[in-house]
Structure 1
Amino acid sequence: MRRYPDHVIEKIKREIDLPALFRAKGAVLKSTHNGGFECLCLFHQENTASMKLNVVNGIWMAHCFG
């Protein structure tokens, strides 16, 4: 798989509004105590939020995928 240069990845992290992107995909975001968000996973049905969104670092993690 091709890897993008670090400067491209950093630019994307700076310019993409992750909460807005997740909301546009149907996520209902709940604020967390550390300034991030959590929501139900966008990739499968679940009852407990396993997807975490860290807006400071510009990353997201789906705990169901490890």
Structure 2
Amino acid sequence: MKAMVENANLITAARDDLKLIGVARAITDFVYCSYLSDLAVDDECQEQGIGRWRIRAKQKLKL
């Protein structure tokens, strides 16, 4: 898990106060290609658009 996080290029998180409720992890060349390798949302928080919100946050990053 530690190596997985340390070697990802981009990680975005969604929190409700201090509780982690969603995360997206991507690998990119920062020029042309980006691969969204993981997208997870807490079971209790699904169907609220959190996953789509994390994807849009990744797309808006200035690479």
Structure-2-length-normalised TM-score: 0.29
Question: Which structure shows the higher strand fraction?
Answer: 2
Q: Of the two, which has the highest radius of gyration?
A: 1
Structure-1-length-normalised TM-score: 0.28
